[in-house]
Chains A and B, each alone.
Chain A
Amino acid sequence: MSVPTMLIAGLLVVGGVATIAATRNIIKIVMGLQSIGLGTVLLLSLLPVLAGVPAEYVVVLVAAASTATEAIALVIVVVAYHKFKTTDPRKISELRW
C-alpha cells in the first residue's frame, strides 16, 4: 500500500542530499533543497492514507518552511555571487569551516 510513493519520496530526499554533496553549482544546491522538501511533503501527505490522520496543516507548514529555506538560500546565492563572482561552492573558500 502506497509503496511506490514512499519509495519515490525516499529517493527524492536521498537524491537531494546527493546533489547538495556532489554539485559544483550553487543553484543546483537550492534545487537539491527543493527536492528534499518535496520528498518530505510527499511522505507526509500519505498520513491520511496510511494512518487516517488529517495532515493538511502539517503538509502546508512543512511546505512553507521549506520554501522559506529556499528563499534564504537564494539570497545567500545572490550575496555570494556578488562577493565572489562565481556560483561554484568550492571556490567560495571563505565560507568553509
Chain B
Amino acid sequence: MIGEVLGVIGGVLVLAALASKRMTVSIFLLFMGSLLVGFAVAEHSGPIAGVVIAALYAGALVTLILISLTLVSEEEEIKLDRVYAAALALALPVALLLIYMFSSASYLPHKAAARIIGEEDVGAFVLIIVTASIGVVSILRGGEK
C-alpha cells in the first residue's frame, strides 16, 4: 500500500516537473519525484534496487543541475548566505544519521531487520529531505540570480 502511495506521489511530481515552465521548479520536482519513485520500487521489488535507482537518478539530476547552471544560468560570484550555511550545518548530522542507518544492517538483503523503524528513523528521514530541499533550492536560486 505504501509503495502504491509513494509511486503515485512520485509520478505526479515528475509529471508536474515536465509541465512546469520554470527550470528551477522543474528540476527540483523531478529530483523529489525520482526519490519517491525509487522508494516505491524499493517497496515493490527490494531495497537494493530502490537504493540503486535513487542513487543513479539523483546522480543524473545533479549532473543535470550542473549543466543547467553552466549553460542556461547567468554567471555569478560564489557567496555564503544563511541558507547555504544552514544546509552545511545540517549536513553533518545527516551524514552521521546515514552511517547509523546503514550500520544497523536493516538494508542488507535476505536478513531480518535489526530493529523496528522508530521515531528517530522518521526524524532522520525528514531531516534528510529538508536538507536536500534547502540545498537544491539554494543552489538553483543562486544560479538564477
Which residues of A are interface residues toward B (Cβ below 8 A)? 2, 4-5, 8-9, 11-12, 15-16, 18-19, 25, 27-28, 30-32, 34-35, 37-39, 41-42, 44-49, 54-56, 59-60, 63-64, 66-67, 70-71, 74, 77-78, 81, 87
Contact B60 A70 (CB under 8 A): yes
A49 to B53, CA, bound (A): 18
> By DSSP majority rule, is chain A's interface helix, strand, loop, or mixed?
helix
Contact string, B1-27, partner A, CB cutoff 8 A, digits 1/0? 001100110111011011000010011
* B57 CB contact (under 8 Å) in A18, A25, A63: A63
Decide yes or no whether B63 CB sits under 8 A from chain A.
yes
Q: How many A-B residue pairs have CB under 8 A?
A: 128
Contact B72 A87 (CB under 8 A): yes
B37, closest chain A residue (CB)? A38
Which 6 pairs across A and B sit closest by C-beta, in order of nearness? A8-B11, A45-B44, A45-B41, A67-B56, A45-B45, A59-B49
Tell me the nearest residue of chain A to B71, going by C-beta: A81
A54 to B45, CA, bound (A): 7
